Amino acid sequence: MAETMGLVQDVSATPSRVPPIVQVDDLHVRFVSKDATVYAVNGVSFTLDPGEVLCILGESGSGKSVTLRALMRLLPRKRAVINGRVIVDGHDILSLSTSALSRVRGEIVSMIFQEPMTALDPVYSIGEQITETVRRHEKIGRAAAEARALELLELVQIPSAKRRLKAFPHELSGGLRQRAMIAIALSCRPRVLLADEPTTALDATVQIQILLLLRQLQKELGMSVIFVTHDLGVAGEIADRITVMYGGRFVEEGPTTAVMRDPLHPYTRGLLASTVHGQMHRERLRTIEGSPPNMEMLPAACSFAPRCRYAVDRCLEGVPDLHRPFPNRSARCIRLEEIGSMT
Amino acid sequence: MANYILRRLLYAIPIAIGVTVICFSLIYLGPSDPIAAVMPDEASAADVQRIREAYGFDKPVPVQYALWLMRAVQGDFGNSLQSNRPVLDELIPALQNTLRLAVFAAALSFAIAVVVGSVAAYSQGTWLDKTVTSFAITGVSVPHYWVAIMLVIVFAVELGWLPAMGMGTGSSRDWAWDAEHMKALILPVISLSLIPAGIITRTTRASVLEVLSHDYVETLRAKGLSEATVLRHVLKNASPTVLAVTGLQFGHLLGGSILIETVFVWPGTGFLLNESIFKRDLPVLQGTILVLAMFFVFVNLTVDIMQTWLDPRIKRD
């Protein structure tokens, strides 16, 4: 185990040499409507290295999907206000023109979604949905694009790929649909793949297949992947690095094995304690008391404090900074050391 | 696909039979005896009986129906009680005249409604959307014969640009695709388009909005497709609903508008129906309603088939 630890840390130590492919600085997203303003993302910063798999872990409403969408500005223009800086492969996403942005989407960064049932256009065949993407980004003819589509379906291991090109989404099972979705996302060999809970809507057995496929494709194509999930097991399976999101902020970040084995932030501890794992036979699962914060009025304090059993008055005095007790590890909690010595 | 079309055709048969039964029953649903309507008051009972037998009214009702149906499928709807000419001779020119109005009115309202409805949906909640929606509601609610009269006052009486009535020189059977006849089309077509345009606009707006709320629109944008391509996807998804409504509206237009055809003295089916009702000309009424109902069935069938071609999920039984 110590060896794997070292290995993981070595991998995450490389970034200093290679420039990151994704760089996010102080990202803020809020949704403005007549009745309310929802502060979905409140100062997120991170980098992603070429070939790295980062997992954003969090419960519903923590801002993880919004963060992901902000990376390709895929948020409703009228309602979403995005601030900060997002650089993907040298493109300043937030200041690109609409047409320049549409060039980056699909070609440099692409996304797969949670619900393969609803994320595919029901009235176009799988083949058409792939070829139109290819032909949008590359100057190739219809026949070449169709050949590429077939290759892609084979790449994502869809059986009888040739026949499936003509299939419509409703004619495929959930797993095959998600594979088709992946094929579409990969159709222009993007450098960064964003995955928004791509396995959540699938059966457990299919989940594993899709995860393994994604990991294999990531290795083969050398893509960087940002994977959003609320499922710790999924995160442990696929990620090099995990970041935990709560109340629109990253509250903990670190190499997967380290975070899973030795969580720093009280919220991450709570998450791990409330998850089923190997040795827990007949043990009672612990839940995190209380409910997630109201994103319409976040206090200028630690947003987890109201649910935290280690919370003291000091926790309410301001948003905690990121503390870095170890190399490559960070957590947004002012009592890290005290809590560490308590357990 | 061929299977589906065949099945739809088979479904149309009972509908068609039902239509013929209703048309035939019109004779007995009317407020007066059709024979009494054509016979002079002083006619003797023997004369009435003779006419009754000549027209087959003495036979049992099912037999009358069978005989009528057999003739009807051969295009023989009997003779007009009024002019004594075959019903078909009256019906065909009227149908042609109405068809000219209906095709143009349907095309015009569809073209306007799809553009305007999509624009409204894309700018949901803005003043543009509100303007379009209020125009659409006005189009549906304002009495279209009143608009027709206003149009006549402005463009025919005051400005003198367009004819106030009729369908150009010559009799109702002499149509030609020339400037003069086309001019006569303009005002009735605009008046007839109001209601369908309003209804189709609102349907388009609602369906486009519904489609825009789907996840796959986000996927299309995430693939980097241009907004024009995204719009093509959105419209294809919205089209089955819009087409269904357009088909219904076209069916209504084929029936001819009694009011509009009266305002413009346009000798179409609406005009013919109106006339035959007032003159109790049952064979003409029966024949006209039957043919129009069959057109309606046919239009709906066409829409159904087009929908399966646009949305592959429909043919999955």
Strand order in the sheet with A241-246: A109-112, A192-196, A224-229, A53-57, A241-246, A249-255, A330-331
Residue A129 included in any domain: yes
Residues of chain A contacting B308 with CB distance shorter than 8 Å: none
**Residue where a domain terminates, one of A136, A159, A189:** A189
Residue A188 token pair: 């222009």
At B170 the pLDDT is 59
Q: pLDDT, tens digit, for every residue of A33-46?
A: 888 889 999 989 99
Q: pLDDT, tens digit, for every residue of A160-184?
A: 888 999 999 999 988 899 889 999 9
If you average pLDDT over residues A6-24, what whole number do you get? 62
Q: pLDDT, tens digit, for every residue of B35-74?
A: 666 677 777 778 878 877 777 777 788 888 888 888 888 8
User: For residues A55 and A5, what is the distance between their CA atoms, to the nearest angstrom?
Assistant: 18
At residue A243, does pLDDT exceed 90? yes
Q: Which site among B124, B215, B223 would you substitute to test the A interface, given the most A Cβ atoms closer than 10 Å to its Cβ?
A: B223
Q: Give the total number of structural domains in chain A.
A: 2
Q: pLDDT, tens digit, for every residue of A267-281?
A: 888 888 877 665 556
Judge whether B289 is closer than 8 Å to chain A, CB to CB: no
Q: What is the CATH number of the domain that holds B160?
A: 1.10.3720.10
The residue among B219, B221, B253, B237 whose CA lies nearest residue B307 is B237
Residue B42 included in any domain: no
Residue B93 included in any domain: yes
At residue A139, does pLDDT exceed 60? yes
User: For residue A25, which phi and psi values (nearest 5 degrees)?
Assistant: -120, 120
Domain containing B279 equals 87-310
At residue B260, does pLDDT exceed 60? yes
A238, A214 contact by CB (below 8 A): yes
Give the bridge partners for A38, in sequence order. A31
User: For residues B231 and B236, what is the distance between their CA atoms, to the nearest angstrom?
Assistant: 8
**Residue where a domain terminates, one of A189, A221, A252:** A189
Q: State the sign of the Cα–Cα–Cα–Cα dihedral A271, A277, A279, A285.
A: positive
Residue A204 included in any domain: no
Residues of chain B contacting A123 with CB distance shorter than 8 Å: 233, 236-237, 310-313
- The 10 Å CB-count burial string (b at 16+, else e) for A27-62 is bbbbbeeeeeebbbbbebebebbbbbbbbbbbeebb
For B199-219, what is the HEC assignment? HHHHHHHHHHHHHHCCHHHHH
Domain containing A320 equals 264-278+285-342
Distances in Å between the Cα of B88 and the Cα atoms of A214, A329, B55, B84 are 70, 89, 18, 11
At A226 the pLDDT is 94
CB contact under 8 A, A103 and B222: no
Residue A297 included in any domain: yes
CB contact under 8 A, B226 and A99: yes
At B177 the pLDDT is 73
At B119 the pLDDT is 93
Residue A67 included in any domain: no
How close, in Å, is residue B264 to chain A by CA atoms?
Answer: 44
How close, in Å, is residue B223 to chain A by CA atoms?
Answer: 4
- Angle among Cα A258, A113, A146 to the nearest 5 degrees reads 120
Give the bridge partners for A105, in sequence order. A109
Residue B116 included in any domain: yes
Residue of chain B whose Cα is closest to the Cα of A190: B223
**Residue where a domain terminates, one of A189, A207, A240:** A189
Residue B8 included in any domain: no
If you average pLDDT over residues A314-340, what whole number do you get? 84
Residue A290 included in any domain: yes
Residue A325 included in any domain: yes
If you average pLDDT over residues A305-312, what whole number do you get? 84
Residues of chain B contacting A116 with CB distance shorter than 8 Å: none
At residue A6, does pLDDT exceed 60? no
At residue B5, does pLDDT exceed 70? yes
Q: Which amino acid is at A75?
A: L
If you average pLDDT over residues A199-203, what whole number do you get? 83
At residue A343, does pLDDT exceed 90? no
Residues of chain A contacting B237 with CB distance shorter than 8 Å: 121-123
CB contact under 8 A, B224 and A104: yes
At residue A1, does pLDDT exceed 70? no
Q: Give the total number of structural domains in chain B.
A: 1
User: For residues A125 and A164, what is the distance between their CA atoms, to the nearest angstrom?
Assistant: 9
Residue B278 included in any domain: yes
- Angle among Cα A127, A130, A135 to the nearest 5 degrees reads 115
